[in-house]
Amino acid sequence: MTSEHPIQASEAEEPLEALDHLLAQARVGVQKDFSRRVMEVLPDAPWGHRTSRSWLWVAAVAAGLVLGATLLLAGDVGGSPAGAIADLFVTTLSAGAGFLAASWSGIGSTVDAALGGSLRAILGLGAAAAGAYGLLFGLVRRRRRAVARR
């Protein structure tokens, strides 16, 4: 409820017929062929294209990963400028992968040390993780609802 003075529902719905009539008369007509013109400019099922486009992205990322892995396995890629760029790419991938692995190992050791093998602590961590997932899921769902309403 707002801070405004409340009024009775029946009062709010009181017909102001003359005003309604006047406003209704002010409505304009729609151009005769409007709906036909709309139908003419509609693209072919854009939502179908959207699905294939999203798969295209997945395929591109997968291809990039395969290329990166191939370069990693191939080792030396030569001394040309293109080779140098590829080398940089490989180094970046290696560093990123190493950093990620180190981070996970670090987190793993920290959590392991903190739990100290206690069953209660493990259950507590499990509950906390489930709660965090629940919260995240709730937030994502709310965001998607808001987008759908827009």
Partner 1 sequence: MALEKDEELIAAVLAGQVEKYEVLVKRYQGRVVNYLYRLLRSLDDAHDMAQEVFLRVYRALDRYNPEYRFSTWLFRVAQNAAIDSVRKRRIQTVSMERRENQEGESSSFDFPSHDPSPYGDLRNTERGSAIGDAIDGLPAEYRELIQLRHFGELSYGEIADLKEMPLGTVKNKLFRGRQMLKEKLADYLTD
Residues at the contact surface with partner 1, assessed by CB under 8 A: 1-2, 4, 6-7, 9, 11-14, 16, 18-20, 22-31, 34-39, 41-43, 45-47, 50, 145, 147-150
Nearer to partner 1, 23 or 67 (CB): 23
**Both ends of the chain: CA-CA distance in Å?**
24
CB 72, CB 93: distance < 8 Å: yes
CB 71, CB 90: distance < 8 Å: yes
Least spacing, CB of residue 9 vs partner 1, in Å:
6
Dihedral, 71, 74, 79, 85 alpha carbons, nearest 10: 10
Token couple for 8:
């009775």
Nearer to partner 1, 43 or 116 (CB): 43
Integer CA distances (angstroms), 33 to 4, 27, 37, 40, 57, in order: 45, 18, 6, 11, 40
Nearer to partner 1, 24 or 73 (CB): 24
Nearer to partner 1, 9 or 113 (CB): 9
